[in-house]
Amino acid sequence: MPLVPGSSFFGAGAFAQATSAGAVIANSAVAGFISGAVGSGTLKGAMQGAFSAALFGGIGQIVPGAGINAATGAIDSATKFAGAVALHGVAGCISSVAGGGKCGPGALSAAFSKAALPLTHGLFDDGFERTIAHAIVGGTASVLGGGKFANGATTGA
């Protein structure tokens, strides 16, 4: 089960029902903290997970829907989609550098993963399968940029 804001993991309480941008970012940070803690087993990893998740959650508030039709996966707005891809690249760079990595691989893995979103929509039935696909795309992009597959896969997922 993915640890994302609004998912069934958080239940039906007020925390999961929050709709303001600040609440979405806070929910993302909590989910990232938990994921980072589980994935790394360290407080540092938890903090990095919280930071990255809040950063990407904020982008989702800036470019809601990312110019992609939720039902079909088709790009509705090329400008909005390109902006979302670019913002994800910037966030991937910031997140990677904050975690002690390189900007280029972080930017590539995040931007490529976002750019692949329309391609994975019709290929996979659920969010878990799409998350795996984005992890593979992100990891591959990171390696092509000179980074580590695991770091790019984490960013892509």
Listed by start position, the domains of the chain span: 1-62, 66-157
Residue 35 CA, distance from chain mean position: 12
Can you give the pTM of this predicted structure? 0.66
For the chain, which residues score pLDDT lower than 50?
A: 1-17
What per-residue confidence (pLDDT) applies to 9? 44
Give the model confidence (pLDDT) of 30-76 as tens digits.
888 887 788 778 888 888 888 888 888 888 777 766 767 666 667 77
What per-residue confidence (pLDDT) applies to 126? 64
Secondary structure (3-state) at 100: coil
What per-residue confidence (pLDDT) applies to 67? 66
Closest CA to 152 of 102, 116, 83, 117: 102
What per-residue confidence (pLDDT) applies to 92? 86
